[in-house]
Amino acid sequence: MSKIILHIDLNQFFVRCEEIKNPSLIGKPVAVGGDGRKGIVSTCSYEARNYGIHSGMPTFQAKMLCKNLILLPGDYKFYELMSKEFINFIKKFTHKVEQMSIDECFCDFTDILDRKGVSPISFLRNLQNNLFKKTGLKCSIGVSTTKFLAKMGSDYKKPMGITIIRKREIPEILFPLPVKDLFGIGKKTYPKLERAGYKTIGDLYYGLKNDDEALSNFFGSYKEDIINNLEGNSSDTIHVGFSDPKSMGMTRTLDFDTNDKVYIRKFLTNLMNTLLDDFSKSGKLCKTIQLTYKSSDYENGFKTNTVSKSLDNYTDSIDELYREGLKLFDKTYKNEEIRLIGFTLKNLKEKHDVVVQMTFENYERHESENKTQLLINELNRKSKKETFIRLSDLKDKKK
Domain-ending residue, one of 212, 238, 264? 238
Does residue 306 sit in the same domain as residue 227? no
The pLDDT, as a whole number, for residue 357 is 44
CA distances from 272 to 76, 80, 232, 280 (A): 12, 12, 35, 12
The CATH number that applies at residue 209 is 1.10.150.20
Query: Residue 170: which of 225, 104, 227, 224 has the closest Cα?
Result: 227
The pLDDT, as a whole number, for residue 109 is 96
Domain-ending residue, one of 238, 261, 292? 238
**pLDDT over 70 (residue 202):** yes
The pLDDT, as a whole number, for residue 387 is 63
**317/244 Cα distance (integer angstroms):** 21
Does residue 62 sit in the same domain as residue 198? no
User: What residues contact residue 226 under an 8 Å CB cut-off, 6+ apart?
Assistant: 182, 204, 205, 208, 219
Tell me whether residue 395 is exposed, middle or buried, using C-beta atoms within 10 angstroms of its C-beta: 0 to 12, 13 to 18, 19 or more: exposed
Tens-digit pLDDT profile for residues 79-123: 989 999 999 999 999 999 999 889 999 999 999 998 878 899 999
The CATH number that applies at residue 1 is 3.30.70.270
The tally of domains found in the chain comes to 4
* Residues 161 and 141: beta-carbon distance below 8 Å: yes
Considering the domain boundaries, does residue 156 fall inside one?
yes
Considering the domain boundaries, does residue 207 fall inside one?
yes
Considering the domain boundaries, does residue 382 fall inside one?
yes
The pLDDT, as a whole number, for residue 363 is 45
The pLDDT, as a whole number, for residue 374 is 58
**270/252 Cα distance (integer angstroms):** 10
Q: Which long-range contacts (CB under 8 A, 24 or more apart) does 277-280 make?
A: 278/248, 279/248, 279/316, 279/318, 279/321, 279/345, 280/316, 280/318
Tens-digit pLDDT profile for residues 286-299: 999 999 999 887 66
Does residue 264 sit in the same domain as residue 347? yes
Q: How far is CA 236 from the centre of its chain?
A: 19
Considering the domain boundaries, does residue 243 fall inside one?
no
**pLDDT over 70 (residue 310):** yes
Considering the domain boundaries, does residue 313 fall inside one?
yes
Write the DSSP symbol of residue 365. Answer: H
Tens-digit pLDDT profile for residues 239-270: 886 555 688 998 888 888 889 998 999 999 98
Does residue 65 sit in the same domain as residue 91? yes
Considering the domain boundaries, does residue 152 fall inside one?
yes
Domain-ending residue, one of 195, 220, 238? 238
Does residue 206 sit in the same domain as residue 265? no
Domain that holds residue 214: 168-238
Catalytic residue among 104, 224, 320, 361: 104
SS3 state of residue 8: strand
Does residue 60 sit in the same domain as residue 142? yes
Helix (H) / strand (E) element for 366: namely helix 360-383
Does residue 61 sit in the same domain as residue 149? yes
Residue 173: band (very low, low, confident or very high) from pLDDT cuts 50, 70, 90: very high
Does residue 21 sit in the same domain as residue 97? yes
If one compares 222 and 28, the residue with the highest pLDDT of the two is 28
The pLDDT, as a whole number, for residue 217 is 87
SS3 state of residue 258: strand
Per the DSSP assignment, residues forming a β-bridge with 107 are: 6, 97
Q: How far is CA 272 from the centre of its chain?
A: 13
Does residue 304 sit in the same domain as residue 193? no
Q: To the nearest whole number, what is the mean pLDDT of the chain?
A: 87
Known active-site residue 104:
yes
Does residue 253 sit in the same domain as residue 273? yes
Does residue 254 sit in the same domain as residue 351? yes
Does residue 325 sit in the same domain as residue 183? no
The CATH number that applies at residue 350 is 3.30.1490.100
Residue 67 has a CB neighbour count (10 Å cut-off) of 8
